[in-house]
Amino acid sequence: MSELKTIQVPDIGDADSVEIIEVLISDNQQLSIDDSLITVESDKASMEIPSPVAGTVTSVLVKPGDKVSAGSDILVMAINDTNDHTATEAPAQDTTSAPAKPKTNTFDSDAYDVVVIGAGPGGYTAAFRAADLGLNVALIERYESLGGVCLNVGCIPSKALLHTAAVIDEAKHLEKQGISFAEPSIDIDKLRSFKESVVGQLTNGLKGMAKQRKVTVLTGNASFESNTAVAIESSGATQSISFKNAIIAAGSQSVKIPGFPYDDERMLDSTRALELQSIPDKLLIIGGGIIGLEMGCVYAALGTKITVVELSDQLMPGCDADLLKPLQQKLSNDFEAIYTGSKVTKVEAAKNGLTAFFEGGKAPATEQYDKVLLAVGRSPNGLKLNATAAGVEVTERGYINVDQQQRTNVTNIFAIGDIVGQPMLAHKATHEGKVAAEVCAGKKSFFDARTIPSVAYTDPEVSWMGLTETDAKANGVEFEKASFPWAASGRNLSMGSKSGLTKILFDPNTKKILGAGIVGKNAGELIAEAVLALEMGADIEDLALTIHPHPTLSETLNFAAEVAEGTVTDIYLPKKRKR
Ligand code: FAD
C-alpha cells in the first residue's frame, strides 16, 4: 500500500520567504524523483524545487504568488513502493530536504536586476519603469540615439512632416472661403531641420531621464551568451554583463522584396523617405498600408506626384470600407494614381529613374519614377540576438512568443513590442514594457488591455478600436451599428470639411460597446474616448447620456450613440423608433 507524504520546501540556502512563480504539478500527476514541482524566485536566482520521491500527486497545497520558506508544505503525495529501494540505498540522506537545484546560475554580485535590449518605446519604458521600482537596470542600444524606430525614424518624424503637409493642404483649401495664399515655397533643408529638432528634443530628453533614473545606458549590439549573460559588441570590442532578468525589446525592420536595387539611393524604405533628401517629381509607393499612405500624404503636399500600388483589393487592408471611403476619395484627388489588386514584379535602375514593372489591376505594364518607396510591412528582429544561447524560442519569422506577463519560455527573460507580434505599434510596446518591468519587480501585472487602438495619420485621419465590422463579419460576431455622418457636424462644417464619419458597434442584447471607428480630422485623438468606454465596459446609453462640449468633433461619438438609442436630434432618422 502506498503511504501519503507531505512534501516540503527543502533548504534553499539563505533565501527566506521566496515567491512561487510557477506550479508545475497537478492532482493525480505521476512523478519521478527529481521531477520539478514548483519554480521559486528569490532576489538571487530562480530555481526549481525537485521532487525528492516518486509517486502520485494527491493534492497541491500551493499556488503561484504564494511565499514559501524551507519547511513550507508543497503537496501531498502517495509514495511509490520503489522509493523504498532509494531509501535503503541512501539511508543517511533525508530526500525530502535535498537541496534545491538552481535552474539558473546563482547570479554574480554585479548582475543587473534587469537588462533591457533595445531602447525603442518598449525598451526605454521598461527600463525607466523598472528603475522607478527600485531595480538596478542596464539599457542596451546599438545606436547612440535612444528612442528606437518610433522616435528616430517612425512615429515622431512622420508626424512632424504630416503636420506640415496638413497645414499646406488646409491653406490651399481656404481659397473656397475667400482666402488665397501664393504657392508655398518649400525650403527642404529648413523642413528637415525642424523634423530633426523635434526628434532631437525627444531623444535627448530620454538620455536625460535615463541619467536621472540611474539607468546604465550601454551602446552596442547585444547578443545572448546564456540565460544570465549578454555580450555587447561595439567597434570591435566586446564586453559581457550578467543579469537576473532580461527584457528583449529589439523591435523590427522594414521588409525587403528580393531582387530590388537597394544599393540605388533612389530606392527608399520609410527611414530613407523620412530623411527628406530631395522632393522627387514622381514617387512610386509600393504598399498601400498606413506607413505608405502617410508618406504619400507628406510628399504629395510637398508637390510630388504619387502613385500607390497595393496587392490587396483595397488600401489599408483590414480597415472597414465605410471608414476608408472618405480617405480614398481625398487621396484619389491628391495622388496621381492608386492601383489596388496589383503588384510590382521588378524595379530596374536606369539613368533617368527607376523603372517599375507591374502586374494585375489597372496598372500599366511599366512606368518610370524618380524614386520608389517600398512600404510592404516590417519583420521582427528575433533571429538576430543569438536567443538560442539563452534557450529562448524564436519562430521562423523572428517573433518571440510570450505569455500575458510578457514572459518567454525562459522564466527570467521577457519580450515586448514589435518583436512579440502584431499590431506593431508604439503604444502597445510601451504598455507591454511596463508589464514586463513590473513583473521583474515582483508585481502581479498582466497585459489585459481590451483593445489596442489603430490610427492612420493620413489626411483625413482614420482610427478604430475594438471590434471592426470586417472582423465581426469574418468571425460571425453579432453586432449592431450606429453611425453619425460628419456632414451634420457643425464643428466639421465650420472647419471647411463635409466628409467624415463616426460609428459605434455594440452588442444587440447587452448594448455594451464592442468597437468604434472614426474618419475625419483628429480621428486619432477622438478614438481615445471610445477606448476608455470599452475598457470601462460602458454601454451605448453611457455614451449617449454623457454631455459633450459643443461644438466639437467629440460630439460625434455622443451623436452616434444617440442614433443607436433613437434619441438623436442632430439628424433626422425617419425609420428609427423614437423613445
Ligand atoms: P523599436 O522602436 O523598433 O526599437 C528597437 C530598438 O532595439 C532599436 O532602437 C534598435 O536599434 C534596437 N536593437 C535591435 N537589436 C538590437 C541589438 N541586438 N542590440 C542592441 N540594440 C538593438 N507606431 C505607432 O504607434 N504610431 C505611429 O504613428 C507610428 N508611425 C510609424 C511610422 C513609421 C514610418 C514606422 C516605420 C513605424 C511607425 N510606428 C508607429 C511603429 C512603431 O515605430 C513601432 O511599433 C515601435 O517603434 C516599436 O517599438 P519597439 O520598442 O518594439 O521597437
Would you write out the chain's pLDDT as a tens digit for each of its 579 residues?
467 888 888 877 655 788 888 888 888 888 877 778 888 776 655 677 888 888 888 888 988 888 888 888 898 888 876 444 333 333 333 333 344 443 444 566 689 999 999 999 999 999 999 999 999 999 999 999 999 999 999 999 999 999 999 999 999 999 999 999 999 999 999 999 999 999 999 999 999 999 999 999 999 999 999 999 999 999 999 999 999 999 999 999 999 999 999 999 999 999 999 999 999 999 999 999 999 999 999 999 999 999 999 999 999 999 999 999 999 999 999 999 999 999 999 999 999 999 999 999 899 999 999 999 999 999 999 999 999 999 999 999 999 999 999 999 999 999 999 999 999 999 999 999 999 999 999 999 999 999 999 999 999 999 999 999 999 999 999 999 999 999 999 999 999 999 999 999 999 999 999 999 999 999 999 999 999 999 999 999 999 999 999 999 999 999 999 999 999 999 998 865 555
Task: Give Dmax over CA atoms of the chain in angstroms.
Answer: 101
Which residue, 209, 216, 206, 203, is CA-closest to 137? 216
Nearest in space to 446 (alpha carbons), one of 131, 65, 15, 120: 65
Determine the Cα–Cα distance for residues 75 and 347; give it in Å rounded to an integer. 66
Percentages helix, strand, coil for the chain, rounded to the nearest 5?
30, 25, 40
Work out which ligand 1 atom sits closest to the CA atom of 253: 3
Q: Indicate whether this model's pTM tops 0.95.
A: no
How far is 432 from 123, CA to CA, in rounded Å? Answer: 9
Residue type, 227: N
State the DSSP H helix or E strand holding residue 163, giving kind and residue range, or none if neither.
helix 155-173
Q: How far apart are CA 516 and CA 426, in angstroms?
A: 20
Cβ neighbour number for residue 356 with a 10 Å cutoff: 23
Cell of 180: 488665397
DSSP string, 333-380: HHSSEEE-S-EEEEEEEETTEEEEEEESTT--SEEEESEEEE-S-EEE
Is 160 a pocket residue for ligand 1 (Cβ < 6 Å)?
A: no
Cα–ligand 1 centroid distance for 386 (angstroms): 19
Residue 550 bears catalytic tag = yes
Q: Name 502's bridge partners.
A: 484, 518
Alpha-carbon span 55 to 29, nearest angstrom: 8
Distance (angstroms) between ligand 1 centre and the Cα of 449 equals: 21
- Which of 124, 149, 435 is the pocket-test mutation for ligand 1 (most atoms within 8 Å of CB)? 149
Q: What sign does the dihedral 335-338-343-346 (CA atoms) show? A: negative
Distance from C-alpha of 310 to C-alpha of 56, rounded to nearest angstrom: 59
Residue position matching grid coordinates 570590442: 237
- In whole angstroms, what is the distance from residue 437 CA to residue 125 CA? 9
Distance 271 CA to ligand 1 centre (A): 11
| 364: Cβ contacts below 8 Å, ≥ 6 apart | 358
pLDDT at 99: 40
Q: What is the pLDDT of residue 101?
A: 40
Distance of CA 412 to the CA centre of its chain: 21
